[in-house]
Amino acid sequence: MNRNATKLTDFGDRRNTTVVCGQSGSGKTTFVSQKKADDDFVWDYDVVMHELTDLPMHQGMQGAIGSVLANRDQWIQATEHTTKHCWLIVSNPDAGIVKLMAAAGAAVVTLQTTDEDCQRRLRARFEAETLAH
């Protein structure tokens, strides 16, 4: 088994969850912030990576991936019985967790943003972060 794969075996009924996928810069976080209610739950890979490593947003650390995914699995378990809507933000629409969540009833949204638009957004984000420091 992939050491980064989920160890969860029971996802329960996940009709309360939307999984949002797309490459870096595709607008996943913006999409969720525009669609979610104020009291919805959101798990965002990039935010958790930043919180665990204190690296700049959207910059990962290979050795931290297992911890980030363990955090994701804890979040999935913790939100299983909530009446609130849950949003899971990940990059890879082909990831095992996406398929497992979909099989448990979660909706899956894959943002189809062009490579050019993603690169433009990432450059703008990098420039903004550089100016802020």
pLDDT tens sequence across 113-132: 888 988 888 888 777 766 66
Condensed to tens digits (0 to 9), the pLDDT of residues 14-48 reads: 999 999 999 888 899 999 999 999 999 999 998 89
Q: Please tell me the distance from the alpha carbon of residue 5 to that of residue 103, in angstroms, as a whole number.
A: 16
Backbone angles phi, psi at 41, to 5 degrees: -95, 140
Type of residue at 132: A
Q: Percentage of the chain surpassing pLDDT 70?
A: 89
pLDDT band per the 50, 70, 90 thresholds, residue 4: low
Mean pLDDT for all residues in the chain: 86
Give the start-to-end residue ranges of the domains of the chain: 17-132
Please provide the CATH number assigned to the domain covering 17-132.
Answer: 3.40.50.300
